[in-house]
Structure 1
């Protein structure tokens, strides 16, 4: 579950935030991880209490049209996430081979070895989890090495981590801040976590066992996300120390005067602030701290890309058995708030308020990205297509929000609305839901 917090998209978000804002956005990374933990907690509780993953519950509770649209949107989210993960792994192969393996070759290798490693699942989920643990250890060691050699200022780092402020920040910093939140809270990971907890044996006839399982899953998730937070912190701090306010000309000169001078040409010779990606980031680390830093970065990137590609594929498996981010957060908030589903383990008032705020934040971020994206469209004719897609997006989001309000027990919604929401359940489960709601 923690792998989705460490994919190449997260790594690139970290390094760009560090290069653009230095240490000013570290507190955003911290609180985005806390919000992610709250979402993962809900996913785990749903799986433990019901014995079903989020995809299965969506299939049972939503009518055919909304659940089909929900399925398609989540599959698109997984495809989009897997694209960056596969390309990130291919870039690591390119760096490790000094350019001998082209990107298309790295993509083919990644596709083949991803399915090969997933065969570990045939020997038990614990074997696969152990392999993921090995990859996380590699990331911790490699990115930790970069942190040690970069020697970021600890005072400035702690200030940026615990003081929520961003003095002198403008549009670029704001864009990086919302990008951090979007990279941390991944929709497919919520579906995945609700399914993974089913591998643990829990006696659901005993409330004490369910309560104990929920507690230990929260502890487990907290440890896992703490590890992922530290690794993300390493990356953001390294690039905040080494590249904050650096220009392309300075990056060119650094590489031109190093043993990796052949790589200098990837940086244009101008006075624009350097804009690094995961490829350029590895190169400039090698130029600054020696070739070893380049190859160690590539190994860490390989571990991040390979593991997250498998996670995305694994999550897709669970989504396919039944059935963008509001389409995961809204359903998990809905079902964990329903006494008919969760019984006494349904969300309390404080939990509902916090998760509703998360949902509002996510929707605001999505709206911000859409508004920011519109001016970059190459032709006004594309506005119509974007408007059509936005209409469908808002329609499905509104339906999910409406059902979420029902689950929250809003006073203006009638009992018949709740009965309609139980449509799609097997007959005996509908009866159980009606008795619980009564």
Structure 2
């Protein structure tokens, strides 16, 4: 565990303030936060806006508040202990068969994540250049290989810089439409009042809330902070304070972008729209080709960034649980296969996105429950363990997300 000793900063020279050079300590949360801006989020928020207008704005806001708490706990675990959540689980799950079973469910979740992200990139390339979906998937996979090569060659910091640049593209792509054609303030404000309108709105709310916190983001964030601050001479207390700022900035950006996606769809996409292609066409007809192109560019950046981070998370899960280190690029090649197979077989991309989010639902309890349990223990985090109020809120958030994911599964597969 990191101690509070040391008189010099991570970047050299004496410390002159309580929290020196805070911006230089930021970054891991913005990378992990890409999970909240992936094509699955784009699809669910677009569907919510098209179907119910501004009704579910409050759900998006609530989802990101919960996400802040979950991601902060994951980041704190990596900062204080210098070990990721998968590494902690790999040492605590003693029986090899149980460890392999745990890894298998986490690996399936990582593959499902990859399906959504590669398909999202393929759809974006189809919208922008008319490329067949299979070719778009191949290009998305190839670019993600280049992003992972940056991590392998230049380390965590350069990888952060590239992903944060893509996050900026995502933000511009989805926010510009709301800036150019702002929604009516009255209905938008009314959307902050919690309420539903029939079973369909409940299902969409469950989809947004239940699938917002991605299991791979929980695993990845603890790994990202571990890598980022390995060998740091900053005290754990200072790093934890910087991490709060990092998570707050990342989740504010993710929440604002997700709200803008819903607002853009509510104002410009007609009821009954079911695919991202139809949403693109509606935006193009409503506020012009430039904004529609920006929407597609944002979707492309979303697919590229999130698939690279998903591959990173998958590698960390395997290493922590099975104690096997497979090169990220090799993993990327293997995990591309299911997504490319679906595209080549002509599977409906929007349906595939929805089903991938359903698969993610299975992995939520396996990531959330141990995270809350570990961060509440003195023997793990020492003085930085959760305050009882924090633990109570985390337990409530975990229970809510698990219940919502169970509800989402039941609503998805119930008999007609």
Q: Specify if TM > 0.5.
A: yes
Inter-partner Cα distance in structure 1 for 2:390 and 2:406? 24
Inter-partner Cα distance in structure 2 for 1:233 and 1:360? 24
Larger Rg: 1
Q: Which string of whole-angstrom CA distances, capped at 9 and with x for unpartnered residues, describes residues 98-134 of structure 1?
A: x2x1000101111111111211111122211111111
Partner of 2:114: 82
Q: Does 1:11 align with 2:11?
A: no
Partner of 2:333: none
* 3-state SS of 1:322 partner: helix
Partner of 1:56: 87
* 3-state SS of 2:414 partner: helix
Q: Does 1:236 align with 2:257?
A: no
Inter-partner Cα distance in structure 2 for 1:275 and 1:201? 45
Inter-partner Cα distance in structure 1 for 2:409 and 2:260? 30
TM-score w.r.t. the length of structure 2 is 0.79
Closer/same/farther in 2, CA of residues 79 and 202 from structure 1, 3 Å limit: closer
Task: Tell me how far 1:203 sits from its aligned partner.
Answer: 6.9
Q: Which string of whole-angstrom CA distances, capped at 9 and with x for unpartnered residues, describes residues 13-63 of structure 1?
A: 111111122111111111110111101111111111211000000001123
Q: Does 1:119 align with 2:137?
A: no
- 1:108 aligned to which of 117, 120, 138: 138
Inter-partner Cα distance in structure 2 for 1:96 and 1:201? 39
Task: Tell me how far 1:280 sits from its aligned partner.
Answer: 1.5
Residue pair 1:15, 1:281 contacting (<8 A) in 2 also: yes
* 3-state SS of 2:320 partner: coil
Residue ranges of structure 2 left out of the alignment (5+ in a row): 1-31, 322-362
Closer/same/farther in 2, CA of residues 140 and 374 from structure 1, 3 Å limit: closer
Partner of 1:176: 204
Q: Which string of whole-angstrom CA distances, capped at 9 and with x for unpartnered residues, describes residues 343-374 of structure 1?
A: 22222211121111112112211221232233
* 3-state SS of 2:235 partner: helix
Partner of 1:164: 194
Partner of 2:409: 370
- 1:197 aligned to which of 225, 236, 244: 225
Inter-partner Cα distance in structure 2 for 1:367 and 1:53? 27
Task: Tell me how far 1:202 sits from its aligned partner.
Answer: 6.5
Residue pair 1:5, 1:183 contacting (<8 A) in 2 also: no
Partner of 2:294: 296
Q: Does 1:351 align with 2:390?
A: yes
Residue pair 1:150, 1:242 contacting (<8 A) in 2 also: no
Inter-partner Cα distance in structure 1 for 2:316 and 2:177? 36
Q: Which string of whole-angstrom CA distances, capped at 9 and with x for unpartnered residues, describes residues 318-351 of structure 1?
A: 1110221111101111111122211222222111
* 3-state SS of 2:273 partner: coil
Task: Tell me how far 1:81 sits from its aligned partner.
Answer: 1.1
Inter-partner Cα distance in structure 1 for 2:368 and 2:278? 34
Residue pair 2:283, 2:291 contacting (<8 A) in 1 also: yes
Partner of 1:91: 123
Q: Which string of whole-angstrom CA distances, capped at 9 and with x for unpartnered residues, describes residues 262-308 of structure 1?
A: xxxxxxxxxxx413322221121112222223222111111111111
Q: Does 1:337 align with 2:376?
A: yes
Inter-partner Cα distance in structure 1 for 2:47 and 2:301? 20
Alignment of 1:203-282 (within 5 A): 209-243=235-269, 246=270, 273-282=271-280
Residue ranges of structure 1 left out of the alignment (5+ in a row): 247-272, 378-438
Which shows bigger deviation, 147-156 or 76-85? 147-156
Aligned residues: 342
Inter-partner Cα distance in structure 2 for 1:172 and 1:150? 27
Residue pair 1:18, 1:238 contacting (<8 A) in 2 also: yes
Inter-partner Cα distance in structure 1 for 2:292 and 2:266? 17
Which shows bigger deviation, 83-92 or 180-189? 180-189
Inter-partner Cα distance in structure 2 for 1:70 and 1:221? 27
* 3-state SS of 1:275 partner: coil
- 2:285 aligned to which of 284, 287, 291: 287
